[in-house]
Amino acid sequence: MPRAIKIVSDFDGVWTDQAAEVDAVRAFVVDELARLAACTRAQAEQGYAAMVA
């Protein structure tokens, strides 16, 4: 079965590379988890991985 794809267009109409955006959002979330939980980035990575699993 063919895989569906999504093309996302921002307000400016430019096609967006979702993979790059996902990576950036993930890094931001992990950094914020580490900051707010006062833990290491490695611990935050583990927590994030468990949350999205």
The overall average pLDDT reported for the chain is 86
Q: Is residue 4 part of a domain?
A: no
Q: Is residue 45 part of a domain?
A: yes
Q: Is residue 13 part of a domain?
A: no
- Number of domains forming the structure of the chain: 1
More reliable by pLDDT, 7 or 48: 48
Q: Is residue 8 part of a domain?
A: no
* pTM, entire model: 0.67
Amino acid 20: pLDDT: 83
Q: Is residue 11 part of a domain?
A: no
- For every residue of 5-52, which 3-state class applies, written as one string? CCCCECCCCCECCHHHHHHHHHHHHHHHHHHHHCCCHHHHHHHHHHHH
Q: Which domain holds residue 24?
A: 18-52
Q: Is residue 25 part of a domain?
A: yes
| pLDDT single digits (tens) 18-50 | 788 889 999 999 999 999 999 999 999 999 999
Question: Structure tokens of 22?
Answer: 């996902």
